[in-house]
Amino acid sequence: MPKPSLDYLFNPTSIAIAGVSPDAARPNLAQLFVSTLRNFGFKGEIYPLHPSGGELFGTKVYTNVREIPGPVDYVISAIPARFTPQLITDCVAKGVKAVHLFTSGYGEIEDEIGKKLEGEILKIARKGGMRLVGPNCMGLYNPSSGLTFAGDFPDQIGFPRQSGSLGLISQSGGNCIYTIREAAGRGVFFSKAISYGNAADLNETDYLEYMAEDAQTKLIAMYIEGVRDGKRFMQALKNLAGKKPVIINKGGNTETGARACASHTGSLAGSAAIWHDLIKQVGAIPAGSISELVDMGVAFLKMKVPNGRNTVVIGTGGGIAVQASDDITGAGLDLPILPLEVRKKLVAIYGTEAGSIFRNPVDAPPMASVEKYVEAVKAIAESDQVDVLILHCPFDIWAMVSRSLPLRPFIETVAVLAKVIDKPMAAVLHYDTNSGSRQMVEDVQKKFVDLGLPVYPSIQRAATAINKYIEYYERLRGENRLSRVSGSKRKAC
């Protein structure tokens, strides 16, 4: 199989970093790139660059990229914008394949100087046949080649070394960081990721075409503020339709949001409604926020495609069940009353319905008796009227009852369930901002993720992601809405 065209970008054999402070005691961002790449396990050569030369971590600091003896595939620039035309010129002379400009101060600045400078470096690079990543961006993450712009994970500050199958293309560095870390905490890992900034040269479509060809990437997620060439972008999405799902969150849906896009990456943002329609027409999936990107990644990569929308919520607390009902239905899923034969089974299991609710949501305290809980969930999952199960774990309330109702048997129960239940099943873990419930959720989430369970922080977020997941496969198969509940139309409210 031929390598995708931008493969040299994600698998460089040597990297030079411009702007590195040669004094280990006075680290700057460029120096952090050096130490981060080393610690993360990048196998190729790393060459620090600084006009004053010297030595750092036992390695020579070169004063100019042209002085470096061996070949240089890739250069990361963290020097002030005004010095970059010279750097780009030197890189072309050296035969560098691509330069990543972490540097900002170009097209995203309101004055004309930045825009002019962006045009200038682009011209030099194009003339020299060299590609640019950015400017004004964090750059590349490829765990399998040890390429990263953040440290080790689960160290507080970094990204996972573990590879996965989600490819991320993000115009924003912050959103790229959020998405990678949040997804990893929920068991979703990445093939490659890129924070691409202003997209002066290589743009969203170039990266999309790369991810399309990349065998390791099974699902593509994008955060976009603006598109450089709309026609080519839409064509690339069309080519992917039915082959690899592409989930897109478009930033800047209001006048002020669009203004922020211009300030951030110099992008001209279009109307959100038009975007959503266009994206759907070419077979991609619009996401309302970056957290929704992650939520959908969890659904697509960790859950079987449900046969329909009949969802059963199994949780604790009547008030919470009311909110869950509104949220399930509001997101587009169905919440049918449990069939009478299932409810009869539940009454037989629990002895009575007093203090519980068996219609749906099912309010049955799991920790009162784990045996009963397993029996109940099995009885529900067995019904052919049920397509999706949601185990609702409200730690904001459970934290209160933890003293009398121990948590461990419940987790062991879910471990059993995760193995025996064949239906699509997710867990919703929510909590208040107090330490007790937060700590409980953290421990339980880790265990549930290890079991392979899709985990969500709220019913609303789970339902939205699962509904869009179902919708995608419906459209793919040219089917109508997968609904078997008659008369379950949502009320406008």
Site for a copy of itself in 448-467 (CB under 8 A): 457
Residue 289 lies near a copy of itself (rule: CB under 8 A):
yes
Nearer to a copy of itself, 13 or 383 (CB): 383
Closest contact distance (angstroms) between CB of 242 and a copy of itself is 28
Among 265, 310, 413, 464, binds a copy of itself (CB under 8 A): 265
Of 56-64, 149-157, 200-208, 229-237: span binding a copy of itself (CB under 8 A): 149-157
Closest contact distance (angstroms) between CB of 142 and a copy of itself is 18
Closest contact distance (angstroms) between CB of 399 and a copy of itself is 5
Size of the residue set binding a copy of itself (CB under 8 A): 102
Nearer to a copy of itself, 357 or 415 (CB): 357
Residue 134 lies near a copy of itself (rule: CB under 8 A):
no
Residue 355 lies near a copy of itself (rule: CB under 8 A):
yes
Residue 178 lies near a copy of itself (rule: CB under 8 A):
yes
Closest contact distance (angstroms) between CB of 277 and a copy of itself is 12
Nearest to residue 209, comparing CAs of 198, 197, 189, 194? 194
Q: Mask 18-47, x = binds a copy of itself (CB under 8 A)?
A: ---------x-x--x---------------
Residue 329 lies near a copy of itself (rule: CB under 8 A):
yes
Residue 332 lies near a copy of itself (rule: CB under 8 A):
no
Show contacts with a copy of itself in window 96-115 (CB under 8 A).
104-105, 108-110, 114
Nearer to a copy of itself, 96 or 397 (CB): 397
Cis peptide before 339 (omega within 30 of 0): no
Give, in degrees to the nearest 5, the angle at Cα 314 between 181 and 324: 70
Nearer to a copy of itself, 5 or 254 (CB): 254
Among 2, 354, 480, 486, binds a copy of itself (CB under 8 A): 354
Residue 436 lies near a copy of itself (rule: CB under 8 A):
yes
Q: Mask 229-258, x = binds a copy of itself (CB under 8 A)?
A: ----------------------xxxxxxx-
Which residues, in sequence order, are bridge partners of residue 59? Answer: 56
Among 93, 322, 420, 476, binds a copy of itself (CB under 8 A): 322
Of 17-25, 51-59, 202-210, 437-445: span binding a copy of itself (CB under 8 A): 437-445
Closest contact distance (angstroms) between CB of 138 and a copy of itself is 10
